[in-house]
Structure 1
Amino acid sequence: MALYHNLLVLAGLVLAMVLLRTIRRPGGPRGYAAVLALQLVLTFTAIVYEDRYLGTVAICLCALTVIAPAVLERGARQMFALGRPRLAVRLSGLRAMLMPGAGLGRQQQILRGFALLDRDGVDAALAYFRGLVAAAEDPAELAVIHEQIVAMLLFDHRWSEAVTHYESHFHPSYAAVRPTLALGILRALGELGRHDAAAALLRSIEDGPLGSEAGAAELLAQARLTFLAHVGALGVVEDALARDRGRRLGLSPGTATLFLGIAAARAGDPLRADALLQQVPGLARRSETRLAAAARTARAHIDDPASALSDELQDFVQAVGERFRAAVRERSGARRLQPLFMTTALIAASAVWYAVTLAAGWAGVGLLRAGALTGELWRAGSWGRVFTAPFVHADLVGLLLDCYSIWLAGHVLERIHGWARTGLIAILGSAAGMWAAAVADPDPAQVIGGGNALAVSVLVATLWTLLPARTPGLLSTVRRSVVLTLLFLLGAHVFACIPGVYGLRSTPLSLGTAAFVASALTLLLPPTLPGWTRRPLAALCLAAVAVVGLGAVQVTREDPIAFAAAHRDRRVVENGVALALPASFERVDADDRRHPLLPVFPGWLDTQALRGGHLVEFVVVADAPIEGSALFVLAPALAHELVIRPEDAPAPAFAGFVNYTLQRNGETIARVVERRLGSHAVLLLAAPATALDPAPALYSAILGDAALAD
């Protein structure tokens, strides 16, 4: 039950994220956006009205139209990388079918051309694309098709045809914003000896958006390398590639050797060029199917005279060489990123904690054994739970959301602030949130926990860090993209505060307090603090980690179930029977709550057990039958739906009572434990049958102490 609710919330979050990305994309598919919006409305309706049928439909539609297409897209790319385009086309076709209104028809046409290339060769693919040109009318579609024709010609090393087609359909600097096309045209111009045109294109690339984009540094370096190799700048090319065979520039050993051979040939050293080019086929990877052919083509022209360079072009070559050397030195001298120690530790601790909780079967009431917090336990002196509760998760979906938020925000926060500040912000912020919820929550038995406060602390601190005044060197486009993503995740955690009866509860107060403390620590401990503060901060962080460890030790020594059994201060009378109940029980009427396995009858329900999807309820039947279970007095129709069987070997805690199991379609779905008090019967209903396992001593004590009211 808890899994269903979390899957429904996750489906809503995924739909909202994909819808936002689709709308923000220039020229995005409006039809697909409308489909996503309708699904989001359906999901929200299912959540608000608690309609399980609509919720199941929403989850399935999200899986079919969002999750499955993403998996298929990754699979198609992998198939292309492995040289199996026909299978990639089939996967892409299935993806297009699952994304109505996404406008993937044009993409499918392009992919069919690549499948033809693999099956029938370049000429068949060219004929196919030229047929598409004749049928196309949209200028944008025509541009895409002409790009593919140029790509086919470049693939077949038909340099002259490729350049002619490119120049007849595109502006000379068009390729400057098309990275893959730019590298191909640069090489074609170099092979044809048109170095002036290649220099003009390279200048357009350097002056364009790719030249100022930090993420395009590797591409820009490859473009400069291509140009320098074809003009014969052997010294510069050799300095960049000889040491590590191009790894710093993202090149394979075979490609790096090819460029070295081309540079040697253009520099007038045919013997060395021939020796290098002969090595290329042996260095080529399985996916580099055209590399050997490129080496053979280069060897065929190894004795061609080099083109004379004008003085202006020589000056440009020298300037490009200097910029290229500087870029290579910068990449070589770039400090290797330090591992994200604290971010990884927080995620690992949450995952291990959840695995232990799952293996021990601590659901519902059992979450208190895992370290969850209640106001009642806090007031009884269980201080360690404010530090352990942020690591307790009741479901996998919540764990994944928290870990993803910490991982994404931690990449920014820990890189800038370091592991000590990150640890202090996460631990102290989340602990403050747990404390505030325990102190202020009017329900003393409300189970408080979950990593929401932990994730919110890291998210809020990262958002403060991304303010322009604190990180002025960050590109505005990168800042905007990261901030929007973090704000969306923050909204998802706030959305998780919607009151519900399943899972661990995160209150707005706990998240607000965590955000406030995280903000204060981020502002009080900026990354510009003097260097001598590093050791004190590290000591404080390690002390906070030690406190978490001490809290965990305290939790392992406590028995929250025995505490609940000893503090059954709620004295109630139900149908003439007095019950002594802990604070976690709540009076319910018929159908106040819903459970998929059994109806909810008028009686007293354990709300802590319900957090784990378990139904545990005490019901009193005034006029119980002499023989058989009193359950069917409450709902006679169940006698036609369920099979009731006496339990042969009940748990030791319930050995003194009458025990039954309930079966539906041959599957055991629930247990009934009965105690007779004259004409009254006290029923302990548990669904599923394992719902009593986390706290048998508590439930047997309640049942054993039941007595007829005076």
Structure 2
Amino acid sequence: MTLYENLLVFAAILQSLTLLRLVRRRDAGQRVYTLVVLAELLLATVAMVEGDRFLGLCATCLCGLTVVLPWLLERGARQVFALGQPRWAVRMTGLRALLMPGAGLGRQQQILAGFSLLDRKGPAAALGHFRGLLAEAEDPAELAMIHEQIVAMLLYDLRWGEAVAHYESQFQPGYAALRPALALGMLKALGELGRMRDAATLLRALEEGPLGQEPGAAELVGQARLTFLAHAGATTTVDAALAGERARELGLSPANAALLQATAAAFAGDEDRARTILQALPTRLRGRDERALAAARALQERLPREPTERSAELDEQVLRAALGLREQLAARAGRAAPRAGGVLMTSLLIAGMAGSFLVALWQGLAGVGLLRVGAFTPELWRAGSWGRLVTAPFVHADLLGLLLDAYSIWLAGHVLERILGRARMGLVAIVGAAAGLWAAGRHEPGPALMIGGGNAMAVAVLVATLWTLMPGRTPGVAPTVRRSLVVTLLLLLGAQLLSCVPGDAALRSTPLSLGVAAFVGSLLAIALPPALPRLVSRGLDLLLVAALCFVGVGAYRVGQEEPIGFALVHREPRPAERGAIVALPQSFERVGAAGERRHALLSVYQGWIDAQALRGGALVQIMVVEGVGSSGSSALFRVDPGLLRELTIRSDEGLDPAAREIVAGASGSWSTYTLQRNGEAVARVIERRLAESGPTVLLLAAPPLAFDQAPTLYARVVADAVLAE
């Protein structure tokens, strides 16, 4: 497929996924945008069916403007907002709303404008903006969002009493347990107001709710426990929890950690210690800690203050929070922490696949040319090309296969890497795929079959993730989340198993390769528990480094090989065909009957076809034609006279010079030309007459660029053909 065809297919896939997401949301405010995406999808479909390049370019450009660019703007707006630049976030959201007509993004932009006012004019202006939005809003979900922002502004301005009053007038008590930032703010507000019983209720709701069950929310739960303990005056527990590097493990900056220690001292009645910590706090400020400094000044102004009134009930709640925090810190200290923050290995695997595909696309490699970028065949592996065990998983012959493998690894990797860690994610993918290809290389009877390693890698990761999501191994995952993930992963696994169905298109997997990859993935996933001692985790990290080095060395060795030259040397003479013997590589398959349509451009005729070229979307066939044709005509027309009505012959000036020299050096007469249909070149033909009245060996490559994947090999096949004795 050309770059244009790949882009058009990719655009249609993006439009389909976007349309599916919009339909599932059933948002009445996005109906117009849904119709826009549907119209673009129909335009892309018509362009692919009719082969209209103009419509295809229009569909691709519209997809970039209304789907891809808004997605990038959304991610960019989130990043700049997190960096403290709400004004740029408002501008990017405004451009996104312009590119998505009828998407109902006006309200989102107005809410971001409130944060921009907070940055420029302060909390009072932002509060006025949000209260003005209340008068215009009607949707309950939109009203809840605006009320939540009003509470956030009051908390930001340290107006604890007003924030709690507004929250309690609009939301149920446990609402904040579903909003991480709001939960921390409300815990602090309740603590500042001395309402420790309500604070304990909110903390318990947070611990027992969905956020408390997620491994990625461990830092949030730890900060909530510390906030509660600090306002309860538990100085000993707070100091122990923040000693050494523990503050960083809980996601706290030095200034915020010092503020918690000062708060604990103040609520315990130790005024002198609280003042000492607060006076030294400015020296610990970093980056965006200005709110910590404002809270420290407010706390210092309220000193001295009455210590928190202790009771048996509060002591029990403090002990419960302290034990939970101690267990959390002990688990982090004694065991390898889950990689909740990133999916580096998953991203690297997908980037490797995409990079390999782009290199092949840029160099025009397809079919047999994919062997140059590391595709796997049992023939090459048995000849000593072991590096293809680790390079083949990154090689793809078509965009759809790449997208399926990348999406499978992306979705499963987000679960597997965050729960089991980076090392096991990488080992499951690399070792699982290599083991699957190794098994196929040993037992596959078709030595020239190009086997897809990307499918094996995806299956290994999918199966390992399914084992990891078993309730006994990850009891903290919510049942609804687990069910949704398992169903999606099983559907992707079923799609991957379809790669075992025999066919000509793309790189095909074998049941043995996928089975062995699934077995290795299962073994690596269940042999060890999800949480490991730090020493074992370091050992796995070293194994991953060794595996990555193995991949690098394998890629270097594959880069030094010449697979086309190997095929040229290892040709075998085939049985005589119409008085001629042709020496062919093992990738050429016998075709006994003519007329079969295995390619969109031309039919297949009796002779041999290159199965490897066919997997790249090209048709390369060798045939022997009897009789003598007229000058300026093609021997192909003697095989199929009906082609005279649809094809015309044109001179071929683009034949590779080395190939031209090879054919010209052979005995007998020869010619090369292109076949055109409606003014477009559809095939390149090289034919050589072995004797004055003897048979003609004809090589046909459709499209013409298919010949350029291995010009010397194909030219040598024609030049070395001989008459049968």
Instruction: Give the TM-score normalised by structure 2.
Output: 0.73
1:453–1:227: structure 2 CA closer, same or farther, 3 Å change rule? Answer: closer
How much has 1:133 moved relative to structure 2? 0.9
Answer yes or no: is the 8 Å Cα contact 1:660–1:671 preserved in 2.
yes
My pick for the range that moved more, 551-560 or 256-265, is: 551-560
Alignment RMSD (CA, Å): 5.8
Structure 1 residues 416-565: aligned runs within 5 Å: 426-432=433-439, 438-439=444-445, 447-460=450-463, 462-464=465-467, 466-468=469-471, 475-494=478-497, 502-506=505-509, 510-511=510-511, 514-515=514-515, 518=518, 522=522, 527=527, 560-562=566-568, 565=571
**SS of alignment partner, residue 505 of structure 1:** coil
**5+ residue gaps in structure 2?**
530-535
Q: 2:135 — aligned with what? A: 134
How much has 1:690 moved relative to structure 2? 6.3
1:165–1:481: structure 2 CA closer, same or farther, 3 Å change rule? Answer: same
How much has 1:49 moved relative to structure 2? 5.7
Q: Distance in 1 between matches of 2:334 and 2:713?
A: 61
Q: 1:593 — aligned with what? A: 599
**5+ residue gaps in structure 1?**
none
Structure 1 residues 685-704: aligned runs within 5 Å: 691-704=706-719
How much has 1:649 moved relative to structure 2? 4.8
Q: Distance in 1 between matches of 2:525 and 2:142?
A: 53
How much has 1:644 moved relative to structure 2? 5.7
1:457–1:195: structure 2 CA closer, same or farther, 3 Å change rule? Answer: closer
Structure 1 residues 157-556: aligned runs within 5 Å: 157-244=158-245, 246-301=247-302, 303-312=303-312, 314-316=314-316, 318-336=318-336, 363-368=366-371, 372=375, 377=379, 391=393, 393-395=395-397, 397=399, 398=401, 401-402=404-405, 405=408, 408=412, 411=417, 426-432=433-439, 438-439=444-445, 447-460=450-463, 462-464=465-467, 466-468=469-471, 475-494=478-497, 502-506=505-509, 510-511=510-511, 514-515=514-515, 518=518, 522=522, 527=527
How much has 1:354 moved relative to structure 2? 7.7
After superposition, give the CA deviation of every residue in 1:485-536 in whole Å (9 maximum; x if it has no partner): 4224324424556776553233xxx24763378459958996389xxxx9xx
After superposition, give the CA deviation of every residue in 1:142-200 in whole Å (9 maximum; x if it has no partner): 22111111111212222232223223323344323322112112222333344444344
Q: Distance in 2 between matches of 1:48 and 1:500?
A: 22
Answer yes or no: is the 8 Å Cα contact 2:33–2:100 preserved in 1.
no
Q: Distance in 1 between matches of 2:657 and 2:611?
A: 28
Q: Distance in 1 between matches of 2:451 and 2:124?
A: 67
Answer yes or no: is the 8 Å Cα contact 1:432–1:514 preserved in 2.
no
- Which one-letter code corresponds to 2:326 in the other structure? A
1:464–1:264: structure 2 CA closer, same or farther, 3 Å change rule? Answer: closer
**SS of alignment partner, residue 451 of structure 1:** helix
**SS of alignment partner, residue 80 of structure 1:** helix
- Which one-letter code corresponds to 2:85 in the other structure? R
**SS of alignment partner, residue 257 of structure 1:** helix
1:466–1:430: structure 2 CA closer, same or farther, 3 Å change rule? Answer: farther
Q: Distance in 2 between matches of 1:520 and 1:245?
A: 37
Q: Distance in 1 between matches of 2:482 and 2:494?
A: 18
1:152–1:381: structure 2 CA closer, same or farther, 3 Å change rule? Answer: closer
Answer yes or no: is the 8 Å Cα contact 1:133–1:142 preserved in 2.
yes
After superposition, give the CA deviation of every residue in 1:377-396 in whole Å (9 maximum; x if it has no partner): 59999997996795472448
1:72–1:511: structure 2 CA closer, same or farther, 3 Å change rule? Answer: farther
Q: 1:612 — aligned with what? A: 616
How much has 1:225 moved relative to structure 2? 1.4
Q: 1:153 — aligned with what? A: 154
1:145–1:384: structure 2 CA closer, same or farther, 3 Å change rule? Answer: closer
1:551–1:187: structure 2 CA closer, same or farther, 3 Å change rule? Answer: closer
1:359–1:246: structure 2 CA closer, same or farther, 3 Å change rule? Answer: same
1:511–1:114: structure 2 CA closer, same or farther, 3 Å change rule? Answer: farther
Q: Distance in 2 between matches of 1:111 and 1:635?
A: 67
- Which one-letter code corresponds to 2:515 in the other structure? A
Answer yes or no: is the 8 Å Cα contact 2:155–2:185 preserved in 1.
yes
Answer yes or no: is the 8 Å Cα contact 1:189–1:195 preserved in 2.
yes
1:523–1:270: structure 2 CA closer, same or farther, 3 Å change rule? Answer: closer
Q: Distance in 1 between matches of 2:354 and 2:475?
A: 35
1:564–1:55: structure 2 CA closer, same or farther, 3 Å change rule? Answer: farther
Q: Distance in 1 between matches of 2:501 and 2:52?
A: 17
- Which one-letter code corresponds to 1:609 in the other structure? A
Q: 1:110 — aligned with what? A: 111
1:472–1:281: structure 2 CA closer, same or farther, 3 Å change rule? Answer: closer
Q: Distance in 2 between matches of 1:268 and 1:207?
A: 31
How much has 1:454 moved relative to structure 2? 3.8
Answer yes or no: is the 8 Å Cα contact 2:197–2:314 preserved in 1.
no
**SS of alignment partner, residue 577 of structure 2:** strand
My pick for the range that moved more, 83-92 or 105-114, is: 105-114
Q: Distance in 2 between matches of 1:36 and 1:396?
A: 28
- Which one-letter code corresponds to 2:718 in the other structure? L
Q: Distance in 2 between matches of 1:64 and 1:325?
A: 49
Instruction: Give the TM-score normalised by structure 1.
Output: 0.74
1:357–1:374: structure 2 CA closer, same or farther, 3 Å change rule? Answer: same
**SS of alignment partner, residue 134 of structure 2:** helix
Q: Distance in 2 between matches of 1:14 and 1:434?
A: 36
**SS of alignment partner, residue 135 of structure 2:** helix
Q: Distance in 2 between matches of 1:363 and 1:92?
A: 41
- Which one-letter code corresponds to 1:608 in the other structure? Q
Answer yes or no: is the 8 Å Cα contact 1:392–1:449 preserved in 2.
no
Q: Distance in 2 between matches of 1:169 and 1:499?
A: 61
Answer yes or no: is the 8 Å Cα contact 2:174–2:205 preserved in 1.
yes
Q: Distance in 1 between matches of 2:346 and 2:169?
A: 53
My pick for the range that moved more, 22-31 or 250-259, is: 22-31
1:603–1:100: structure 2 CA closer, same or farther, 3 Å change rule? Answer: farther
**SS of alignment partner, residue 110 of structure 1:** helix
Q: Distance in 1 between matches of 2:485 and 2:402?
A: 21
Answer yes or no: is the 8 Å Cα contact 1:22–1:28 preserved in 2.
no
Q: Matched residues, percent identical?
A: 46
- Which one-letter code corresponds to 1:284 in the other structure? L
Q: Distance in 1 between matches of 2:227 and 2:168?
A: 20
Q: 2:662 — aligned with what? A: 653
Q: Distance in 1 between matches of 2:323 and 2:124?
A: 40
Q: How many residues align?
A: 683
Q: 1:74 — aligned with what? A: 75
How much has 1:7 moved relative to structure 2? 5.9
Q: Distance in 2 between matches of 1:46 and 1:334?
A: 60
Q: Distance in 1 between matches of 2:75 and 2:372?
A: 41
- Which one-letter code corresponds to 1:695 in the other structure? A
- Which one-letter code corresponds to 1:393 in the other structure? V
After superposition, give the CA deviation of every residue in 1:51-77 in whole Å (9 maximum; x if it has no partner): 676877776666555544432222111
Q: Distance in 2 between matches of 1:342 and 1:164?
A: 46
- Which one-letter code corresponds to 1:220 in the other structure? V
How much has 1:36 moved relative to structure 2? 10
Q: Distance in 2 between matches of 1:287 and 1:613?
A: 55
**SS of alignment partner, residue 237 of structure 2:** helix
